[in-house]
Chains A and B, each alone.
Chain A
Amino acid sequence: MTAPQKYILIISLLVIIASFTAWAYTGFEIFSKQQVPVRHFDEILGTSTIVWEDATIIGLDIAGTVALVAMLIGGISLYLFRHRKK
């Protein structure tokens, strides 16, 4: 394996690991979200209300896409930087 190939492989693997780590950290959601529901309880009235709070939830749709792109770029780059017999 050539030096460029090693670097490409490491970077691709890091990107893939990072994307799936982010996906796991934000709760293994299928679809990404920009807001999450937070329930507030009113002790006087005895009612509960949902308030939407801004949050970055990375779903499998984004994480999977990033990982797939990293694999494609890595795979193509590995092929392009292979040793060629003269």
Chain B
Amino acid sequence: MVSFTYCSMTTAFAQNFAVSIHGKQTFHLKDERGRNQTTFTSQAPLEDITGTSSEVAGTVSFDPVNVSKTIAAEISVIVASLKTGIAMRDEHLQGPNWLDAAKYPTIQFNLKDLKNLKSTTNATVEGTAVGDFTLKGVTKKTSLSVSLTLMPASDKTKMRAPGDLLVVRAKGSIRLSDFGIKSEIIGSKISDEVRFEFNAVGSNATK
């Protein structure tokens, strides 16, 4: 599981949402259709690899009036759900020489701080999330570009999920070597630097 924990957020979050949402809200990042997803890419001389995981779940909760002190979040990504388009490669990826899904079933990220927050629209806030990224039992401090969009319930949003919706987007990169993942094919078939994107939608009406 990837744990996203927001420890602080400026009140700009509440000030820049022209919505009538009151009280502490908990958004559950759960989508049975697999639309919540983590995507990673590796660009190496021999091959460009794209992988995904749609077994993503978690929660984001906050009080719109006092977000900085009340917000908390956790997100889960199952290592065994990673797919790259080649069954044998997926099996190797989840094996003990790579991500070792049996021993480390989840990838974790704990948010420690949000920096450089700015409002791009009345419903969207962007910033830099700094936190602890844990992969294969190793934890490293990592920065991600984060975008949060709050969508009040409407006829359109009800077509996707009930209740108010929160769209979470994040981008970042890690180095496999920083997490103790080493192989002779890193550099030729797989790049050491792996970029990833996270897209998830949460509803405060589902569990």
Contact = CB atoms under 8 A, between A and B. Distances in A.
B167 A52 contact: no
Chain A interface size band reads 10 to 19
A45 B167 contact: yes
B50 A37 contact: yes
Nearest to A57: B85
B8 interface: no
B86 A48 contact: no
Interface string B161-180: 00001010100000000000
A76 interface: no
Interface string B77-109: 000000101110000000000000000000000
Contacts of B151: 45
A33 B50 CA distance: 12
A2 interface: no
Report whether over half of chain A's contact residues are helix, strand or loop; otherwise say mixed.
Answer: strand
Interface centre among A34, A48, A49, A52 (most CB of B within 10 A): A49
A52 B199 contact: no
Given A37-B85, A42-B35, A44-B160, A50 B52 contact: yes
A34 B167 contact: no
Interface string A10-39: 000000000000000000001111111100
Nearest to A31: B47
A44 B199 contact: no
Nearest to B168: A47
Given A42-B35, A50-B52, A33 B159 contact: no
Nearest to A53: B85
B86 A33 contact: yes
Given A42-B35, A44-B159, 13 more contacts: A33-B85, A34-B86, A35-B83, A35-B85, A44-B157, A45-B165, A47-B167, A47-B169, A47-B199, A48-B199, A49-B34, A50-B50, A52-B52
18 contacts: A31-B47, A32-B86, A34-B85, A34-B87, A35-B83, A37-B50, A37-B52, A44-B156, A45-B35, A47-B35, A47-B167, A47-B169, A48-B199, A49-B34, A49-B37, A50-B39, A50-B52, A52-B83
Interface of B: 34-35, 37, 39, 46-47, 50, 52, 54, 83, 85-87, 149, 151, 156-157, 159-160, 165, 167, 169, 199, 201
